């Protein structure tokens, strides 16, 4: 009798184990068929990449026309979020630069010249779509100088100053190919006050707008 009960207990236990295994297999096959697999934080199918970018644009500085030239390099995490570094050179009074270069007319010329750089973060909205948005943000610091020119001397820097900068922006990107993107951008540059002769303290706080070219593995 004891042997019979023991045999029945073993059979019941074994049947339960087999049933659980069959259910697990069926659930797994069903999840594969329906696409309802268990979601995890760290996915095996993540796709990382990188890109380098250059930008050129317009930016008014100290109530005169100016221009900006930027570059950045970023690592792309799972297509939708990037981290990296960037830098921008800027100058104003660009209407008089041609006159100085081609006509050698340097009387009463002065312009701001400087740059800034720092850490870049950039969320990307719907990166697989042919046209989509990204939101780059640069946080860092920079330096600025007033360059004066006259007919009797070489250009020289009168006063220099350093500043903190935070520059959020938006880019409308177009995927031209798997390795090339072109974007129209607009940013606003916030800086701390600067101390430069004949220059407003908030002269660098301004918008920028232009075009960006990105090349890399997206």
Residue pair 218/179 in contact by the 8 Å Cβ criterion: yes
The answer on 146 and 106 residing in a single domain is: yes
User: How far apart, in whole angstroms, are the C-alpha atoms of residue 102 and residue 180?
Assistant: 36
In tens, the pLDDT along 100-153 reads: 444 555 555 678 999 999 999 999 999 999 999 999 999 999 999 988 765 454
The answer on 33 and 66 residing in a single domain is: no
Greater model confidence, 213 or 158: 213
% of the chain with per-residue pLDDT over 90: 56
In a domain, 118, yes or no: yes
Instruction: Identify the CA nearest to 94 among candidates 65, 137, 126.
Output: 65
The answer on 165 and 60 residing in a single domain is: yes
Structure tokens given for 44: 């095996």
The answer on 130 and 64 residing in a single domain is: yes
Instruction: Identify the CA nearest to 113 among candidates 78, 79, 67, 71.
Output: 67
Tally of domains within the chain: 2
When the pLDDT of each residue in the chain is averaged and rounded to a whole number, the result is: 79
The answer on 152 and 115 residing in a single domain is: yes
The answer on 105 and 27 residing in a single domain is: no
Q: Specify the pLDDT at position 213.
A: 98
In a domain, 4, yes or no: yes
In a domain, 176, yes or no: yes
Going by pLDDT thresholds of 50, 70 and 90, the confidence category of residue 11 is: very low
- Residue 205's domain comprises 49-217
DSSP E strands: which ranges in the chain?
49-58, 66-77, 81-92, 109-125, 131-134, 137-150, 153-175, 180-191, 206-217
In a domain, 44, yes or no: no
Instruction: Identify the CA nearest to 213 among candidates 170, 168, 175.
Output: 175
User: How far apart, in whole angstroms, are the C-alpha atoms of residue 41 and residue 209?
Assistant: 37
Element of type H or E holding 9: helix 2-34
The answer on 17 and 116 residing in a single domain is: no
Mean pLDDT of 164-172: 98
The answer on 19 and 122 residing in a single domain is: no
In a domain, 20, yes or no: yes
Greater model confidence, 191 or 159: 191
In a domain, 193, yes or no: yes
Largest Cα separation within the chain, whole Å, is 119
Lowest model confidence (mean pLDDT) among 9-18, 92-101, 132-141: 9-18
CATH of the domain at 137: 2.40.160.20
Mean pLDDT of 35-56: 72
The answer on 10 and 68 residing in a single domain is: no
Tell me phi and psi for residue 5, to 5 degrees: -60, -40
Instruction: Identify the CA nearest to 61 among candidates 147, 178, 183.
Output: 147
The answer on 113 and 165 residing in a single domain is: yes
Asked if pLDDT for residue 17 goes beyond 50, the answer is no
Lowest model confidence (mean pLDDT) among 10-14, 36-40, 49-53: 10-14
The answer on 168 and 209 residing in a single domain is: yes
In a domain, 192, yes or no: yes
Most confident of 7-11, 42-46, 80-84: 80-84
Q: Specify the pLDDT at position 149.
A: 63
Q: Specify the pLDDT at position 42.
A: 47
């Amino acid at each position: 009798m004891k042997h019979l009960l023991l045999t029945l207990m073993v059979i019941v236990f074994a049947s339960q184990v087999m049933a659980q295994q069959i259910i697990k297999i069926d659930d797994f096959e069903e999840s594969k068929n329906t696409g309802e697999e268990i979601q995890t934080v760290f996915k095996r199918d993540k796709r990382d990449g990188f890109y380098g970018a250059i930008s050129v644009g317009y930016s008014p500085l100290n109530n005169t026309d100016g221009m900006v030239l930027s570059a950045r390099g970023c690592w792309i995490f799972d297509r939708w979020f990037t981290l990296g570094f960037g830098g921008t050179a800027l100058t104003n009074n660009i209407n008089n630069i041609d006159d100085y270069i081609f006509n050698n007319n340097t009387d009463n010329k002065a312009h701001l010249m400087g740059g800034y750089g720092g850490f870049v973060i950039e969320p990307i909205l719907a990166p697989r779509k042919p046209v989509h948005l990204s939101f780059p943000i640069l946080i860092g610091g920079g330096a600025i100088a007033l360059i004066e020119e006259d007919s009797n001397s070489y250009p020289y820097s009168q006063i220099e100053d350093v500043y903190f900068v935070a520059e959020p922006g938006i880019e409308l990107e177009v995927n031209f190919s798997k390795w090339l993107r072109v974007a129209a951008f607009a940013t606003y540059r916030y800086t701390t006050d600067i101390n430069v002769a004949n220059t407003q303290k908030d002269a660098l706080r301004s918008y920028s707008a232009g075009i960006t070219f990105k090349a890399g593995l997206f």
